[in-house]
Chain A
Amino acid sequence: MRLLGLSTDQADWLDVLDDTEQSDLYRVLTSPGEAPARAVGLLAKVLSPRTRLMAFVGYGQASNRRTVCDGLFRE
């Protein structure tokens, strides 16, 4: 969690990975270099849902949720 930079309320994001996958991810994050495809896949699993991705890159929650869409983020 700390290595990824997740906050405490984001801890459950890692629940999508089993113990082996979490160990594999830990190993990758602590040994930088060329990314194996498996690591990319594991990170995609954790971060790929849109709400997570947007939060992870630091975008605030979209304000326009009154309609069925929430819009692209606007400056």
Chain B
Amino acid sequence: MNIEGDLCILGSGIAGMLLAERALGHGRKVLMIERGTRLTFEDRKQRNSHDDPLPFNKSPHFSPHEPQPVGPRTRGREYVFQPVYNLGGSTNHFYGNMPRMHPTHFGQAAFGGVSRAWPISYAEIEPYYLQAEQRLQSSGSADHTPFQGQFAYPLPPHRLSPSDRACAAIFGPEHVVPVPTVRPSQAVNGRPKCCATNVCSLCPVDSKGTALNMVYPSIQARIDLRSGLLATAVETRAGLVTSVTAMDEKGTRHRISARQFVVACNGVDSCLLLQRSAAVPQHSSLGRFYMDHPVFDLAIHASGFDAKPGYGDSAQTAMFTPFFAQLAADLPVSLLGEIRCSTMANDAGEGNRDLIFREVVRQSLRDGSRRSFQEKFRAAWGATLDLWFQLETQPLATNTVTIRRIEPNGQAVPEVRLQYPPYLGDCVERVTAYIQRHLPGSAIVHHSTYPGSHHWLGATRMADSPEQGCVDRTLRYHDLQNLYVLSTSTFPSSSSANPTLTLAALALRLGDHLKPAQAGRPG
């Protein structure tokens, strides 16, 4: 079967949808291809799952992973790649934090001989950050950010939790910033205020902003959406993409033609599609320099504050920013801290909540006073802070995404190789020392480390030359005039910020780039 379009977007996540909306505004006709079904929020709630029923969307991937260089672990030695294949993509599942990258992260010095500099500057992307924050109705504080610039969040920030306020008192209010988020601080456009359950991966009241509830309604009637189609190959001739081959549930092949194509899949699958397409130039960086944000979690026990774990107006209400620009002069990375007011109020007694709970019990049993155990426990509970640090990671050629196998249903299964950065231990030590300087006598427990944050970055990196990257500064694939990649895989460095807002800004920017004046002459 042949399908024809003008601008063809592969993937219906937040990036694809924002691009579609912007392109429609410029008079483009949009064909959107989604491998998953069109499950609505109600469908997901009913199923209590994002799992897509199509046969080629059932392959959560686990890769063996090197042990981290320091500290305990809470999960197995596996790196989890578990995408959401469905209309709306990963925002269905994410927690909704939307910080910008720090301006300094756009122009960092090389690490290990690999460029970390973005071909675009913060100044170039800032107008699109602003537009994305407006469009996605972010909650945030315009006058309290870790860097200068224009900010105009449409919704006010969430009220700081007792844990946030305790951190502000201990470390300085300038380091505790209301987290920019699409968990709304007040009802907006038919969505209720964030219910603060900390189960954002399937928001029970559809409050969290997603591609599905924020963008899709405005484009739904104006795009040609084909769901249940898995793109399996990009075909080219003389430097132009001529078509994309896709497969449906029954194994029937479809040929998709368009004037321009945008690969807007997640950060791993975008790479896999290009790798499995024999006609696409296989640039040396394709599938290399893969990054994700490792995380380590610290529980801090001290006296003199009441953090009231479990109190908060949202799953997380503030970021901890003293290390956001850079951790230290002699370390090449930044850290973004999350003050986790919600961990210990989780419904299920699992994961970090149980780890911290056990630490509180230990603290209580060490208390030699004559108070009752309950009094000791309450004191230890209130004097516990839970800080989660998201670590910038480096683009290394040895961290790779490759195709492990192609399944009979057409799905590519990835092989991800990613090591913990060797400086992870140093980062834990620096942060621990920083906390001890501000809280002498405190007990600091590094109780968990995760290899990733489901932030799939770098495998089709952006650089001005095809020797250094796969796409240029406009996101056009090098050596192909009408193919673009709009995915977190284009990030040449990871920052320590959650990537969704930057991706959204890139989507709006690409939408402007592809307006008809440019569309007339490919590239």
Chain A partners chain B: yes
Does B435 touch A at the CB level, under 8 Å?
Answer: no
- Cα-based distance from A71 to B205 in the complex (angstroms): 11
Stretch at the interface among B32-40, B68-76, B343-351, B511-519: B343-351
Does A35 touch B at the CB level, under 8 Å?
Answer: yes
Does A14 touch B at the CB level, under 8 Å?
Answer: no
One of A34, A43, A58, A67 near B204 (C-beta < 8 A): A67
A37 CB to closest chain B CB (Å) equals 9
Interface residues of B, count at CB 8 A:
40
> Which B-chain residue is minimally distant from A7 (CB atoms)?
B374
Tell me how many residue pairs across A and B have CB atoms closer than 8 Å: 103
A61 CB to closest chain B CB (Å) equals 13
Is A71 touching B365 in the complex (CB atoms < 8 A)? no
- Contact pattern, B 178-218, Cβ under 8 Å of A = 1, otherwise 0: 00000000000000000111110000110000000000000
Does B372 touch A at the CB level, under 8 Å?
Answer: yes
Is B365 touching A35 in the complex (CB atoms < 8 A)? yes
B430 CB to closest chain A CB (Å) equals 29
Is B346 touching A33 in the complex (CB atoms < 8 A)? no
B446 CB to closest chain A CB (Å) equals 17
Cβ–Cβ < 8 Å partners of B378 in chain A: 56-58
CB under 8 Å from chain B, chain A span 30-75: 32-35, 39-40, 43-44, 47-50, 53-54, 56-59, 64, 67-75
Does B16 touch A at the CB level, under 8 Å?
Answer: no
Is A69 touching B199 in the complex (CB atoms < 8 A)? yes
Interface-central residue, B198, B205, B374, by most chain A CB under 10 Å:
B374
Is B311 touching A4 in the complex (CB atoms < 8 A)? no
Stretch at the interface among B125-133, B260-268, B321-329, B355-363: B355-363
Cβ–Cβ < 8 Å partners of A74 in chain B: 196, 311-313
Does B354 touch A at the CB level, under 8 Å?
Answer: yes
Is B377 touching A57 in the complex (CB atoms < 8 A)? yes
CB under 8 Å from chain A, chain B span 64-118: none
Is A56 touching B374 in the complex (CB atoms < 8 A)? yes
CB under 8 Å from chain A, chain B span 367-399: 367-368, 372-375, 377-378, 381-382
Known contacts A69-B205, A72-B197; A48/B310 CB under 8 A: no
Interface-central residue, A6, A57, A59, A64, by most chain B CB under 10 Å:
A57
- Contact pattern, A 1-42, Cβ under 8 Å of B = 1, otherwise 0: 001111000000000000000000000110011110001100
Is A50 touching B372 in the complex (CB atoms < 8 A)? no
- Cα-based distance from A54 to B344 in the complex (angstroms): 9
Known contacts A57-B381, A69-B204; A50/B349 CB under 8 A: yes
Cβ–Cβ < 8 Å partners of B374 in chain A: 4-6, 56
A-B contact pairs, 29 of them (CB 8 A): A4-B372, A5-B375, A28-B365, A29-B373, A32-B366, A32-B367, A33-B368, A35-B361, A35-B362, A35-B366, A39-B365, A44-B349, A47-B357, A47-B361, A50-B345, A54-B310, A56-B378, A57-B381, A57-B382, A64-B195, A67-B205, A70-B197, A72-B196, A72-B197, A72-B198, A72-B310, A73-B310, A73-B312, A74-B313
Give the A-binding residues of B (Cβ under 8 A): 162, 195-199, 204-205, 308, 310-315, 341-342, 344-349, 354, 357-358, 361-362, 365-368, 372-375, 377-378, 381-382
